[in-house]
Amino acid sequence: MEEFSYQDGELCCEDLPMSRIAKEVGTPFYCYSAAHIIKRFRAYDQAFGDRKHLICFAVKANSNLVILNLLGKLGAGADIVSGGELFRALRAGIPANRIVFSGVGKTTEEIQAALDAGILMFNIESMQEFHAIAKTCRETGKKARISFRVNPDVDPKTHPYISTGLKKNKFGMPVHDALEAYREAKRNPHVEITGIDCHIGSQLTQIQPFLDALDRVAAVVQTLNDEGIQLSYLDTGGGLGIRYHDETPPDPGKLIRELIKRMDANGLQQTVIVEPGRSICGNAGALVTKVLYTKENSGKTFVIVDAAMNDLPRPSLYQAYHDIWHLNQTSNRKPCLVDIVGPICETGDFLAKEREMPLPAQGELLSVMSAGAYGFSMSSNYNSRPRIPEVLVNGSEFRVIRKRESYEDLVRIEEIS
């Protein structure tokens, strides 16, 4: 998180003290560094060298229009998993021919919308989904570009909730079924076989599972090639992890160079698609929150802040660790053990548990780090809490890229009679 650092004792995002943003927009809020997003995108982009590629940002990680627009201008496409994400990607100016549609449960309406837009390809996850897409094409006279998502049965060694490439997971198709699917698709005039796809999980900190998955996919590509089925795109999914605590994931450049080496070794010539989310924007963001109260219950210290599990569900949902920094440096305070909790009426509402840190004082501002991916995008209105604003920092300037919701926003689409 090099874009977040202390300057004269004050935590800054790029060159801007974050307390200044707090003064203008109030707390809590999400704060993103544009420089970090650009740097991480370029790390992917440049590692490809002259190899044909497309970086489809996983919209689910951070779906703010300004962020998508920024990435789109850098050349990114989008990996979408819903009609809503399609709408956002298009609204943000990402061209349809740079959009891939993943996910196990695409509805007829979503399929129709993606066909109308003319997306690059559907990453298909089951035979029933294939038939649904082919049927929509037949009825509307459109042709879908398709790939099948292979489940390579590789252990990504990550949290079980975000593992997707094991045979016990709901994602993709076993190799044998995928081969059959391609054979059937070849006989269907309403679809155009375009690529092959695979995504094994998220927050991966090692390269080996990516390479193991690629080998399995390469074997499928080889078999198809022998049968005269050629593919233009090879989509290796997303999943590269970031440092939250003490993880040491490879940087994007290293992953891409290793993947390309392995593709070359397997004789794979396709245009490469990757679908990174977290590794582009995770460490670009922080959640700034204010200490409302501190209290001690039977020897345990609680710090109650104004952000909660509805704003950042990752700690409650996955027991995820996020660093918590003071906005004002605290060199002369000694650390103690605290739980940082929100105002929501659930014991599961915490941002950090048994964390050793200098005791924050009432009214003090804290920054929950590494919150740029799956932070705001997973937030909700639980406890009727308006969703919080997002700001984007560029050098010493910032801009509100999503306003704080109002109480009126909470009830806007509800009616009493």
Task: Catalog residues that contact ligand LLP under the rule CB under 6 A.
Answer: 58, 61, 79, 102, 162, 199, 202-203, 237-240, 275-279, 314, 318, 373-374, 378
Q: Name which of 114 and 338 has its Cβ closer to ligand LLP.
A: 114
Q: At its nearest, how many Å lie between ligand LLP and the CB of residue 291?
A: 25
How is residue 167 annotated by DSSP?
A: T
Q: Catalytic residue at 336?
A: no
Beta bridge partners of residue 288, listed in sequence order = 29, 367
The one catalytic residue in 31, 137, 198, 345 is 345
The residues near 291 (Cβ < 8 Å, ≥ 6 apart) are 303, 304, 305, 360, 361, 362, 363, 364, 365, 366
Please report how close the Cβ of residue 175 comes to ligand LLP at its closest, in angstroms: 18
Q: How far is the CB of 20 from ligand LLP (least distance, A)?
A: 29
Count CB-CB contacts under 10 A for residue 304.
Answer: 17
Nearer to ligand LLP, 115 or 280 (CB): 280
Q: Which is nearer to ligand LLP, 61 or 137 (CB)?
A: 61
CB closer to ligand LLP out of 270 and 279: 279
DSSP per-residue letters across 366-398: EEE-S-SSSSGGG---GGGPPPPPEEEEETTEE
3-class secondary structure, 143:
coil
Minimum Å distance from CB 416 to ligand LLP? 35
CB of 76 to ligand LLP, least distance (A): 13
Task: Provide the β-strand partners of residue 391.
Answer: 31, 400
- Which residues, including other chains, have CB under 8 Å from residue 201's CB and lie 6 or more apart? 156, 158, 162, 163, 164, 165, 209, 239
Q: Return the number of the residue (100 or 338) whose C-beta is nearest ligand LLP.
A: 100
* Angstrom distance (rounded) from CA 172 to CA 220: 14
Give me the least distance between CB of 58 and ligand LLP, in Å please: 3
Nearer to ligand LLP, 61 or 121 (CB): 61
Say how many C-beta atoms besides its own lie within 10 A of residue 63's C-beta.
22
How far lies 146's CA from each of 55, 98, 119, 188, 274, in Å?
Answer: 18, 14, 10, 12, 16
What residues act catalytically?
345
